[in-house]
Chain A
Amino acid sequence: MADPIPGAKIPTVIADELHIVYRVNGAKTGKGSATSALSRILRRGESPGVRKVHAVRGVSFVSYRGEAVGLIGSNGSGKSTLLRAIAGLLPAESGHVYTDGQPSLLGVNAALMNDLTGERNVILGGLAMGMSREEIKERYQQIVDFSGINEKGDFITLPMRTYSSGMAARLRFSIAAAKDHDVLMIDEALATGDRSFQKRSEDRIRELRKHAGTVFLVSHNNKSIRDTCDRVLWLERGELRMDGPTEEVLKEYEKFTGK
C-alpha cells in the first residue's frame, strides 16, 4: 500500500510508555489460610493478598497505515497482553495507547456457547463482534461454507459441544474472520484444523490484511512472520527489546533463541 504523499507516513497506533499490570487474587505464595485472608481484608489499602504481574513494561512505538507488524518473543513475554492493550481491552497502568478507529482482535471464542447449535453461535458471534442482523444473514452461508462444517452432514444444527475440537476451531475461525477491521490483530495459532482448512484460513487472513489499515500478528512461527510482516517488534519480559525491519530483528532473535 503506497502512502498518499511519499515520506508522509500516517500513524495508526501510537504506544507511549505503556505499562500493563495484572492483579491476581488468591495467588499469593505462602499462607493461604482463612485467617490470613481475613487479616488481609482488615488491613485495607494496597492489599498484599493480591499479586501483581507486570506484564508490559514501558513499551513505546508508532505504527503506520499499511504496515504489517509482527510481534515475537518467548512464551509469557507479554505479546498477547500488548495486543489486548492496543485494542483497548486491558486498561493501562500508566502510559497511553492512541489508535485510529477501533482495533479489533481476531477471535470470538469467548462469546460462543457450547450448549447452543452452530447455527445460533454464528449469529451470536456475529452480533458480539458488532455486526448487524442483516450483515450476518447476508454472510451466514459464506461462514458455514467456509468452515466446512456441513461437508460431513448437517452438523450446523447440532450443539457445538458435539463437535470435534478441530470442527469447533474451524467454526470459531470462520465466524471471527467474517468481519473486516481497520486495525486487525491476529494472535498466533489461529489457523487450526486439517491441511486444507489451514490453507483456506491463511488465504483468508491475507485477504483481511488487504482490507485492514494496519495488521499486528503474534506468532512463534518465524516463517509466517517473514511471509506477512515488514516490521517486527521483539518483546522479552515485557520490554521492547528490538524494533525494526523483519530480517534484522529475526536474525537477532534467532541468535538469541539459539536456532
Chain B
Amino acid sequence: MSDRPSPDDGLSAAGLAAKYGLAVSGARPRLVEYVRQLWGRRHFILAFSQAKLTAQYSQAKLGQLWQVATPLLNAAVYFFIFGVILKADRGMPREVYIPFLVTGVFVFTFTQSSVMAGVRAISGNLGLVRALHFPRAALPVSFALQQLQQLLFSMLVLFIVSIGFGSYPKASWLLIVPALALQFLFNTGLALIMARWGSATPDLAQLMPFVMRTWMYASGVMFSIPVMLADKPVWVADVLQWNPAAIYMDLMRFALIDGYGPENLPPHVWAVAGGWAALFAVGGFVYFWQSEERYGRG
C-alpha cells in the first residue's frame, strides 16, 4: 500500500497530520472545553455514583438499610467513648453535646470519605481509565457525589437525634442546604487534588487514614475548640477554628442545635466557608486538569 506514490510522500508525520486536520490522540483539551466535556458526562457521573452506592451493600442481608445503620452505629460508638467514658463534653449540657458530637462525626466523615475515595479514584479504576474515554475528572467528582448521597442518609439519623434531644425543626435548619453545598464543593476540590496525587503515588491510600485522623482530632469533632484550648494562646484556637473541617461542622451545628448559638462561631464564618469552597473547587479542578493526559499510566 505504501509503495504507491502520492502527493503526501514528502511530508513528515506531523506535517501529514496537520494537512488532514488530525489531532494528537489523548491530548489534553483546553480548560473551557474540558469543563464542557465534563458537563456532557453529567449523567454518567450521577449514574456511576448511584451505582457505587447501591453496589456497596447489595450482598448484605439488610441491604440498603445499612446506609442508615452504619452512621447510627458510628455515632453510638463515639458517644460511648467520648460522652460516657472520657466525658469530653466539658460542661456542655447533654441535649447539646450529643447532637454536637453526632453532627461533628457525620460532617467530618463526609470530608474524610471524600478524601479517601479521591485518593483511589484514578489508581483504583485504572481498568476503566485504560478502556474508555471520558474526562478523568468525572471519577473523583462522581466519588464525591457518592459521599454526598451517603451523607443524605446520615442526615436522616442526624434529624432524629436532634429532635430526640429537643432541637426541633425551625427556620435555621434551612441553613443546612448552603452549608452542605459549600462543603460538597470543598470536598470535590480536595478529592480532585487527592486523585492526582493518588494516581502518581498509590501509597497515599495507606498514609491518608493517619493524616485524616490527626485532622479529625484537631478539628473539634468531639469537643469545643474554644473551651478545650482556653488556657492555650488564642492563635492556636483561632487556627483550628478556621480550618475548613471545623468551619463546616460549626455551621451545621449552629443550624441544627438549639443550644449552639452564634457565640460559638468564629467571625465571618460564611465568608470563610465560601472562600474555602471556592479555593479548593476551582484550584483542585485546574490542578487535576493539568495532568489529564497522564492518568492511566501504570
Residues of A within 8 A of B (CB): 7-17, 22-25, 60, 62, 64, 84-91, 96-100, 102-105, 107-111, 113, 115-116, 120, 123-124, 127-130, 132-133, 159, 231, 243-245
Contacts and interface: CB of A to CB of B under 8 A. Distances in A.
Given A104-B133, A116-B55, A133-B43, A124 B48 contact: yes
Given A7-B4, A86-B25, A128-B44, A98 B130 contact: no
A153 to B, nearest CB: 21
Contacts of A60: 13
B32 interface: no
7 contacts: A11-B8, A13-B22, A88-B25, A91-B293, A91-B296, A100-B23, A110-B130
A111 B132 contact: yes
Contacts of A133: 43
Contacts of B171: none
Given A96-B13, A108-B132, A88 B54 contact: no
Nearest to B40: A130
B264 to A, nearest CB: 43
B114 to A, nearest CB: 20
B23 A105 contact: no
Which residue, A9, A89, A98, A159, has most C-beta atoms of chain B within 10 A? A98
Contacts of A130: 40-41, 44, 133-134
A22 B131 contact: no
Contacts of A98: 13-14, 16-17, 22-25
B48 A107 contact: no
Contacts of B44: 124, 127-128, 130
B298 interface: yes
Nearest to A123: B47
B26 A97 contact: yes
B1 A244 contact: yes
A88 B40 CA distance: 19
B235 interface: no
Nearest to B7: A8
Interface residues of B, number: 46
The DSSP consensus for interface residues of chain A is: mixed
A105 B54 contact: no
Interface string B129-145: 11111100000000000
Contacts of B25: 13, 85-88, 97-99, 103
B6 A9 contact: yes
B40 to A, nearest CB: 8
Given A87-B25, A87-B133, A244-B2, 5 more contacts: A10-B20, A23-B298, A98-B24, A113-B55, A124-B51
A15 to B, nearest CB: 8
B296 A24 contact: no
B21 interface: yes
A108 B131 CA distance: 7
A100 B21 contact: yes
Interface string B182-206: 0000000000000000000010000
B132 A128 contact: yes
Contacts of B13: 14-17, 60, 62, 96, 98
